[in-house]
């Protein structure tokens, strides 16, 4: 996914890393709309969910929405903040976009070439908000920005 941002240069996104609970899922559940958008996004880039799976529902939800074969899951435990940041560094920060809301997502958004913070029903950690390039109020909006480079360009242009 190539996105030219006037005044900032080109973004070349190959990997989209998403936090699960509080970001794309509420109470451990994905909405039909988010699932459909994830399916569309997975046609464009590598989509990975980075989660401690607080509710133990990630695999079940991916199966229920026929996403298990198109979206991968990486479990993070221990120092989740550090581990999510390390995934970005391993994949190459210049090739990653990250979407999150919690304290454990701060480094993931800070290191990624594009960080999107979702301030939803669970709120968002201030440090993660400040690490983001873009802030939205719904996961659908975050994914739609990635699917619609013109909208993202309009938001980020200098």
If you search the block for the tokens 């969910």, which residue do you land on?
49
Task: Give the pLDDT score at 6.
Answer: 87
Return the structure tokens found at 131.
């690490």
* HSE (side-chain half, CA atoms, 13 Å) at 74: 17
Class of domain 8-153: alpha beta
Contact 105, 95 (CB under 8 A): no
Cβ atoms < 10 Å from Cβ of 6 = 10
Return the SS3 of 43. Answer: coil
- pLDDT tier, 158 (very low <50, low <70, confident <90, very high otherwise): confident
**Closest C-alpha to 15, from 90, 109, 96:** 96
Domain residue extents for the chain = 8-153
Query: How sure is the predictor about 8, in pLDDT bands with cuts at 50, 70 and 90?
Result: confident
**Do the Cβ atoms of 147 and 41 come closer than 8 Å?**
yes
Measured between alpha carbons, how far is 118 from 1 in angstroms, rounded to an integer? 21
Spatial separation of the C-alpha atoms in residues 3 and 157, rounded to whole Å: 11
* pTM for the predicted model, two decimal places: 0.96
Q: What is the pLDDT of residue 94?
A: 96
């Amino acid at each position: 996914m190539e996105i030219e941002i006037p005044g900032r240069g080109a973004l070349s996104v190959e990997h989209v890393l998403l936090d699960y609970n509080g970001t794309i899922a509420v109470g451990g559940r994905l909405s039909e709309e988010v699932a459909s958008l994830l399916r569309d996004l997975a046609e464009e880039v590598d989509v990975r969910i980075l989660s401690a799976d607080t509710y133990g529902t990630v695999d079940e939800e991916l199966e229920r929405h026929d996403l298990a074969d198109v979206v991968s899951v990486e479990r993070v435990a221990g120092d989740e903040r550090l581990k999510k940041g390390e995934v970005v560094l391993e994949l190459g920060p210049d090739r990653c976009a990250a979407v999150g809301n919690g304290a454990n997502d701060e480094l993931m958004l800070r290191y990624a070439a594009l960080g999107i913070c979702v301030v939803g029903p669970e709120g968002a950690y201030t440090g993660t908000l400040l690490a983001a390039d873009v802030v939205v109020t719904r996961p659908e909006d975050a994914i739609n920005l990635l699917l619609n480079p013109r909208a993202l360009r309009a938001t980020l242009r200098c």
